[in-house]
Amino acid sequence: MANVIGPFGLSHWGTASGPPNFAESHNTPYRIAANNATAIFFGDLVNYVVTTGFIQQWAAGSGSATVIPAGVFVGCEYLSTSRKQHVWSNYWPGSDATGDVSAFVIDDPNALFKIQGDTTLAAAVTQTSLGRVADVVVNAGNTTTGISGMALAAPAASTTGFLPLKVVNLITTPPGANGTDLTTVGNYVIVAFNAQTFKSYTAAV
């Protein structure tokens, strides 16, 4: 059956050597500036702001020799200005913090993630894309659930544009499950970091 479109960002799938380890922010303090008005959702790719050291939501096409992913955002904690207490949230709403925001980021350079192909793709992502590199499409996140709307952009056979992700596998089981149809767009793909704070850019296969 055709895949149902419902992007959810990057969902932690495991590591190159085994099951998920949820290696969030190991020994690395991540902060979001209190005046960062752009929401960051659970499952969003994030990167450092070069001039400040804070993190922000990844912008499609922004990859460069100095702008690389820090990891995948999975929540934050901050002093709520309106509630006068510390709160934990699975997404940063873009306001209501007194002082900097503590962010939780999966930053294991060997982490693997499940992501849905974007609706703008001409076709499903198939076996021929394994080893290729790709960016994300930044669709709107869900402010009710806090879940990301990011999806996978078209995989490319080159390193042009310093693309942040590498396609490493497809999800094809269980048969008939959503995301396993390789004949329609919106199938589920496993990706690794092509570049990350602890990992340099690598060439596409």
SS3 127: helix
- Per-residue pLDDT of 44-96, as tens digits, reads 999 999 999 999 999 999 999 899 999 999 999 999 999 999 999 999 999 99
Q: How far apart are CA 154 and CA 143, in angstroms?
A: 26
Domain termination site, one of 85, 106, 127: 106
Total-model pTM: 0.93
Domain that holds residue 72: 30-106
Q: How far apart are CA 188 and CA 171, in angstroms?
A: 6
Residue 25's pLDDT band, with cuts at 50, 70 and 90, is low
The answer to whether residues 39 and 51 belong to one domain is yes
The answer to whether residues 178 and 120 belong to one domain is yes
- Per-residue pLDDT of 115-167, as tens digits, reads 999 999 999 999 999 999 999 999 999 999 999 999 999 999 876 669 999 99
